[in-house]
Structure 1
Amino acid sequence: MIAEITAIALAAIFAITLHEAAHGYAARALGDDTAYLLGRVSLNPLRHVDPVGTLLLPGILLVTQLLTIGRVEAMFGWAKPVPVDFWRLRNPRWGMVLVAAAGPGINFALAIGFGFAAHLVTATDAMVPDAALDWVLRFCALSMLYNVILACFNLLPIPPLDGGRILVGILPAPLARMVASTERFGLLIVIGLLFLVPYLVPGFDPLRMLLQAVALPVLDAIFTLTGHGGGR
């Protein structure tokens, strides 16, 4: 169980923290050095760890599920958001779109990268103990899964999620202002969709629907692209 917990925890932490790091790198490249000056343009996961969102909540979900049902079916968490001053970007509107897209973009890239990395791991099976080989392959598979789920979830068109920021950047100004005005309620909307709606409306689980309708087909496509056949 310890091996499973470490594989799950590391896969989730790297997916979440590198997502935030990508926002910082993109913002700096496009003219805003706010995150850089605060030390947040870094691939060091410790710079992006939120004690509650990256460690405590995912840890509780992980241990609770392993102890009760013996497997992990759901994971939720967040890193410290990278601060971005969109008005300091050379082109604030399209810069916001690119900065927002960088997070999901790196997650998709990581999912593909881990898919190819698994081939390199299996090619060294004669030189690696079976237990270590199984752990690394499990880590690669979980990393593919978590990166795809994180990317798809963040592309929901709800500010302050990345999809909401992208939507604000591409809509005409009147509609963009209307969508942007919902940002103050964005996190409440997300939490409601994740936890409150499934409780109040049995059988209606928006997160599971997103997983089944979007994330799993994307994961299947990445498995096929990286030479593993269908992912399900």
Structure 2
Amino acid sequence: MTTAISRHDRRISPIFLGIVAVTAVAGWAVWTGFADRAEFAVFLFVTGAWVVSLCLHEYAHARTALHSGDISIGAKGYLTLNPLKYTHALLSIVLPVIFVIMGGIGLPGGAVYIERGRIRGRWKHSLISAAGPLTNVLFAVVCTAPFWLGALDGVPWVFRYALAFLAMLQVTAAILNFVPVPGLDGYGVIEPWLSYDVRRQVEPFAPFGLIAVFGLLWVPGVNAAFFDAVDALLRGLGVSEFETYCGQDAYRFWRALSGEGNPVCLPPS
């Protein structure tokens, strides 16, 4: 029942609104070329949009849990879209951004703690887990819409690159979240359908699932296969590898400042 949720518990956090504002201003700077160094504006735009998507991912978990019976969600602050409420500032913001900087991988960073005992029905439990990564899927569809709709006329090249890179982050986040490994949403989708004995045996490994997946991505063969799959999906949505590569190149503004940026990615004058 949602009647127990107060207006204060549902009020959008000023922190989230601030992140949205920074993202919007940075996006405007990228689009108009207002910034002397477009790369830094790309960094702010993509980082801000990534944190916004992280908040929406966790909000989707929380909102679905609320409508499934866990009315404790409101008091925990999960409905305010405040990223600091989703576990821990380091895990929610800093580490995901570091993952993006290091390898262009959109890994989840936040977490909502759901009182599963309040929820009845295996389908509801599966839907709660699926709601987060489905948000990343929706975000990817929105980011790639200008590409697959053929609506890129008049879109500045740098903004196009930034959207392509942001779409890649969303696709990687969706794929990784749906991996059925303990600790990730994919396992949460199938967990209600497993036997009690299997769940009990797997439970101790949940804290290490994300670390194990990230470690596997450092294996060259696994990394190549993973990004081949990501590139194939993006090509199906009209986004080329060149565009995602140049978006990541622009995102790493410090490379441009040091003269290491790829001149191939410079927009035509």
> Is the aligned partner of 1:99 residue 2:128?
yes
Q: For the residues of structure 2 that align with 1:198 and 1:46, how far apart are their CA atoms?
A: 27
Sort the Cα spacing of 1:55 and 1:43 in 2 relative to 1 into closer, same or farther, 3 A.
closer
Once the two structures are superposed, the pairs formed by residues 1-232 of structure 1 within 5 Å of their partners are 1-45=39-83, 47-48=85-86, 50-61=88-99, 65=102, 73-75=103-105, 77-91=107-121, 93-116=122-145, 122=152, 125=154, 133-171=156-194, 173=195, 177-179=197-199, 181-195=201-215, 197=216, 203-205=220-222, 207-213=223-229, 215-221=230-236, 223=237, 229=238, 231-232=240-241
Q: Secondary structure at the match of 1:75?
A: coil
Tell me the equivalent position of 2:28: none
Q: State the AA in 2 paired with 1:212.
A: D
Question: What is the alpha-carbon distance in structure 2 between the residues aligned to residue 17 and residue 147 of structure 1?
Answer: 13
Say which SS state the counterpart of residue 80 (structure 2) adopts: coil
Distance in 1 (alpha carbons) for counterparts of 2:69 and 2:150 = 38
CA distance in 2, matches of 1:154, 1:181: 21
Relative to structure 1, the CA distance from residue 212 to residue 185 in structure 2 (aligned partners, 3 Å threshold; closer, same or farther) is same
Q: Does structure 1 conserve the Cα–Cα contact (< 8 Å) formed by 2:184 and 2:209?
A: no
- AA aligned to 1:86 is R
SS state of the match for residue 209, structure 1?
helix
Aligned length: 202
Alignment partners' CA distance in 1, 2:152 and 2:84: 30
Cα deviation digits, residues 55-113 of structure 1 (max 9, x gap): 333444556x5xxxxxxx3335543311111221242x221100001011111111112
Q: Do the aligned partners of residues 208 and 82 (structure 1) sit closer, same or farther apart at CA in structure 2, a change above 3 Å counting?
A: farther
**Secondary structure at 1:192 match in 2:** helix
Structure 1 or 2, whichever has the larger Rg, is 2
Query: Could you list the per-position Cα deviations for residues 146-188 of structure 1 after superposition, in whole angstroms to 9, with x for gaps in the alignment?
Result: 11111110111112211111121234x25xx414532321332
2:143 alignment partner AA: F
Unaligned residue ranges in structure 1 (runs of 5+) = 66-72, 224-228
Taking structure 1 as reference, are residues 122 and 77 closer, same or farther at Cα in structure 2, changes over 3 Å only? Answer: same
For the residue of structure 2 that corresponds to 1:41, the secondary structure is helix
AA partner of residue 103 (structure 1): G
Whether contact under 8 Å (1:5, 1:62) holds in the other structure is no
Corresponding residue of 2:13: none
> Is 2:164–2:239's contact at 8 Å kept on the other side of the alignment?
no
Contiguous gaps of at least 5 residues in structure 2: 1-38, 242-269
Residue type matched to 2:176 in 1?
F
Structure 2 Cα separation of the partners of residues 135 and 53 of structure 1: 30
TM-score relative to the length of structure 2 = 0.63
